[in-house]
Amino acid sequence: MMLPAPSRPTAWRLALGVSLCALTLLVVAVRAAGQAQTTSVFASRIEQFSEPSGYFDTDNLMSNERSYLHPLEMLRQRGTSGGVYIGVGPDQNFSYIANLHPAMAFIVDIRRDNMLLHLLFKALFALSRDRAEYLSVLFGRPPPRASDDWRRASVRRLVQYVDSVQPDPARVTSIRRRVDSEILRFGVPLSRTDRETIERFHRTFVDGGLSLKFQSTGRPPREYYPSYRELLLETDRNGHEGSYLASEDLFQFVKSMQARDLVIPVVGNIAGTRALAAIGRFMAERGERLSVFYASNVELYLSQDRMFPRFIGNLEKLPYDEGSVIIRSIFGRTTAESVPGYDSTSVVQSLAQLVAGYQSGKFPTYESLIYPR
């Protein structure tokens, strides 16, 4: 028995349905292609600039530099902003980025683990609408009830909230799934060991809470190391809070940089042969200049390993000008810039002055950097 031919209205609906289906598939394909392009650019830049991983005997999940915000006053006086930011280590970099508003940032660290840690941070920014959510997913706590009031909250109030709640195992498991799914979107090739390392890092934050401290391999944290809580509440020399979590505006700037793939974690020795040279070429091609190089106390170790001249050589390859500066941290020594009660001293120096001083013999050693003539 033959079925009757569809009426004109029925045929029209079928044709329209097929067209809409095809259009939907096309939109999905275009969006997927765009997403793949975005993530592949981020992943390819990590690959483009990175070197083989080296070793350093710390977990370095957080800073031990209590004085890390002290340079902000001088940087404001100098009018330092924009350009390209280069730094080492974990999330203290975000506080410099939040205050200085660079066009792009590279986090260069000898340990692959630091790159993995920054993938974790990037995922947390993507999953968080505001500071309250960010701290909640970082430490595996339930977020506070959605309210614009939390966007205006002081960082002290956020600290009090995180301290007042405990992680829930089921919630932590759910957060971990979301984080892993988000990291997958970045397109960075990760081994099983890499993924396990990221999970271990995240669970260390969850288990330690705001009392978490910097730790060296095989040694407990030193008593005078600041906790994550104390670093959040730190201020610059004028008593102004400056952490990237101190205000919603500061946090949202870093979040926007992360969303646009403008914070690139790179595996590299800053005295090595590839990372800084490749970044320098990239900057020159784009007509960018260096604004800030945050070196922490890495210069000390480079000096001990007789690699300081190579570091200076790498700095020379970066496009910089008279406004470019280096931020260094000093431990265990008292200098003219030291603040009573602080175990670290964070100082700012003109990059041009550093390079010229080394070339002229003014800064032949690390000691001469700390105590210039």
Per residue in 94-119, pLDDT (tens digit) is 999 999 999 999 999 999 999 999 99
pLDDT single digits (tens) 327-359: 999 998 889 899 999 999 999 999 999 999 999
Q: What angle do CA 175, 97, 68 make, to 5 degrees?
A: 95
Q: What angle do CA 123, 128, 130 make, to 5 degrees?
A: 140
**pLDDT higher than threshold 70 for residue 240:** yes
pLDDT single digits (tens) 244-282: 999 999 999 999 999 999 999 999 999 999 999 999 999
Phi first, then psi, for residue 349 (nearest 5°) are -140, 145
Share above pLDDT 70 across residues of the chain, in percent, rounded to a whole number: 87
Query: Across all residues in the chain, what is the average pLDDT?
Result: 88
**pLDDT higher than threshold 50 for residue 30:** no
Is residue 106 in a domain?
yes
Is residue 215 in a domain?
no
Cα separation, 161 vs 141, whole angstroms: 10
Cα separation, 272 vs 307, whole angstroms: 9
Is residue 302 in a domain?
yes
Is residue 272 in a domain?
yes
Mean pLDDT of the 221-226 span: 78
Is residue 88 in a domain?
yes
pLDDT score for 224:
74
Is residue 164 in a domain?
no
pLDDT single digits (tens) 46-94: 999 999 987 766 678 999 999 999 999 999 999 999 999 999 999 999 9
The residue among 18 and 222 whose pLDDT is bigger is 222
Burial environment of residue 221 by CB neighbours within 10 A (0 to 12, 13 to 18, 19 or more):
middle
Is residue 305 in a domain?
yes
Domains identified in the chain, total number: 1
pLDDT single digits (tens) 293-318: 999 999 999 999 999 999 999 999 99
Confidence of residue 217 (pLDDT cuts 50, 70, 90): low
Quote the pTM value: 0.87
List the strands of the sheet with 263-267, edge to edge. 263-267, 104-109, 84-87, 290-296, 325-331, 344-350
pLDDT score for 371:
85
- Domain containing 77: what range? 69-110+268-373
Mean pLDDT of the 150-169 span: 95
Q: Which residue in 165, 164, 182 sits closest to 174, CA to CA?
A: 182
Query: Residue 345 belongs to a domain with what CATH number?
Result: 3.40.50
pLDDT score for 367:
86
pLDDT score for 370:
87
Q: 81 near 246, Cβ under 8 Å?
A: no
Is residue 136 in a domain?
no
